[in-house]
Amino acid sequence: MRMIIRRLSLYALTAWVAITVNFLLPRLMPGNPVQTMIGKLTGQVTAAEMNAIQLSFGGSFKQGLFAQYFTYLTQLFHGNFGSSITLGAPVGAILRESVPWTVGLIGVSTIVSFAVGTFAGALLGWTRGSRLDSLIPTATFFQAIPYFFLGTVMLLVFASNLHWFPVLGAYSQNATPGWNWNFVGNVIRYGELPVISIVLSSIAGWMLGMRNMMITMVGEDFVLMAVAKGLPRRKVIMHAARNAILPSIANLSLAIGLVVSGALLVELVFNYPGVGDLLLQAVLNEDYPLIQGIFLVITLTVLCANLIADVVYLALDPRTRTEAAV
């Protein structure tokens, strides 16, 4: 339990750092981009809108730095992420639409990639020296391909040319959003190729990590004991795998960060209505409130996922419960 509190406080701290970075960055950059932006917009937006925009940066610039910071924090706690310049709507509302798509895509991809990857890795580690080993260089190659590139290629080959998968979007145009079977089925269908693309790009890491740990485990005494006990082979493998998977779960936190980065781009390629395209447009249009909002939301989501992964790890490794935290 103490461990969880420690992790929680770490994540809380990280969140705070992210928020502060968000606040400080525009002010630290040479050329004070925010001022420039405000200057550009003056006269193009109404006073109310200008107010809203300024609020998302921490209020009027006429105040001192700390006062601005305080305003900024207060706004955040009220759920006010500010107002998007280009879209004219509150950032929170915009994000509420797209974040679920991103979370869904990344969540499903990560789970599939982790499950298939560690399973394959366990097999590879156990049956070392067999023909299966040729999977490794293949997976490594796929891992080295940038996410968006693989996505593009897959889109081109499987969707445009072979027509095995639908081309773009999260659901077909004539399907009505809602919790009906048609829609859900549609979502799954349209999601297949993006998920496959992300899974292929990330699976090598899991495979290799698990494989290396399995090989190490096979050399451990307790696995020999399991064999000496006359247990069926399946159970012996489980003994080893149960231990081998621990570092992978510990690394899940790091991996989620990477998957998120890659998935954002895959969304671009497949025209998925998630946060990715939103971010890109915001960057191109210098829509700073939106950029900040997206960054914060992504960071907070990743931190939540990290926390879940940490809890799972604690549940699986009893040694951490008594020892001091690392």
Partner 1 sequence: MKVLRLPKSPKVLLGLGILGFFILMTIIGPWLAPYNPSATNFAANLTPSAHHWLGTTSLGQDIYSQLLVGARATMVVALLAGLVATILSVTIGVAAGYLGGLSDDGLSLLSNVFLAIPGLPLLIVIDSYLPVNSRSNTFVIGLIISLTGWAWGARVLRAQTMSLRNRDFVEAARIIGEKRHRIMFSEIAPNLLPVLASSFLFTVLYAIGAYVTLAYIGLTSTAVWNWGTMLYWAQANNAPLSNEWYWFVPPGICIALVGTGLALVNFGIDEFINPRLRAGGLTSRQRRKLGLPRRVRLGLTPVLRPAKAPRVSTAPAKLVSQ
Partner 2 sequence: MSADTFDIQAVSPMKEGPAERKGNAVANVERSEFVLEVNNFSVDYGVGENMVRAVNDVTLHLRRSKVLGVAGESGSGKSTLVYAMTRLLRAPGVISGGSVTLNFTSRDDEKEFTTLNLVTASEKELRKIRWSHVSIVLQSALSALNPVLRVGREFDEVLKTHRPDMSKAQRRARAVELLTMVGLNDDRLARYPHELSGGQRQRIMIALALALDPDLVIMDEPTTALDVVTQREIISELHDLRSRFGFALIFITHDLSLLVELADEIVVMYAGEIVERAGASELYEAPRHPYTLGLLNSFPPLHGPRRELSGIPGSPPDLSDLPAGCNFYPRCPFAMSRCENEAPALTAIENSDRSVACWLHSSDSSVPVPVELSRTVNPARNPVTTLKERP
Residues that bind partner 2 (CB under 8 A): 219-222, 224-232, 235, 239, 242-243, 246, 316-319, 322
3-class SS shares of the chain: helix, strand, coil, % to 5: 75, 0, 20
Tokens representing 36?
Answer: 């420039």
Q: How far apart are CA 183 and CA 177, in angstroms?
A: 6
Which does residue 22 touch among partner 1, partner 2, none (CB within 5 to 8 A, set by kind)? partner 1
Which does residue 239 touch among partner 1, partner 2, none (CB within 5 to 8 A, set by kind)? partner 2
What part of residues 107-166 is at the interface with partner 1 (CB under 8 A)? 127-130, 137, 140-141, 143-146, 148-149, 152-153, 155-156, 160-161
**DSSP code, position 177:** P
85 binds partner 1 (CB under 8 A): no
Which does residue 311 touch among partner 1, partner 2, none (CB within 5 to 8 A, set by kind)? none
Nearer to partner 2, 131 or 319 (CB): 319
Are 82 and 57 a contacting pair, CB within 8 Å? Answer: yes
How many alpha carbons lie under 13 Å from residue 252 in its C-beta half-sphere? 27
Angle at 239 (CA atoms; ends 111, 244), nearest 5 degrees: 50
Instruction: State the minimum distance, in angstroms, from the CB of residue 137 to partner 1.
Output: 7
Are 208 and 140 a contacting pair, CB within 8 Å? Answer: yes
Are 236 and 218 a contacting pair, CB within 8 Å? Answer: no
65 binds partner 1 (CB under 8 A): no
Q: How far apart are CA 58 and CA 73, in angstroms?
A: 8
- Interacting residues toward partner 1 by CB under 8 A: 10-11, 13-14, 17-18, 21-22, 25-26, 29-31, 33, 127-130, 137, 140-141, 143-146, 148-149, 152-153, 155-156, 160-161, 204, 212, 215-216, 218-219, 223-224, 227-228, 236, 253-254, 256-258, 260-262, 264-265, 279-280, 283-284, 286, 288, 291-292, 294-295, 298-299, 302-303, 306, 326
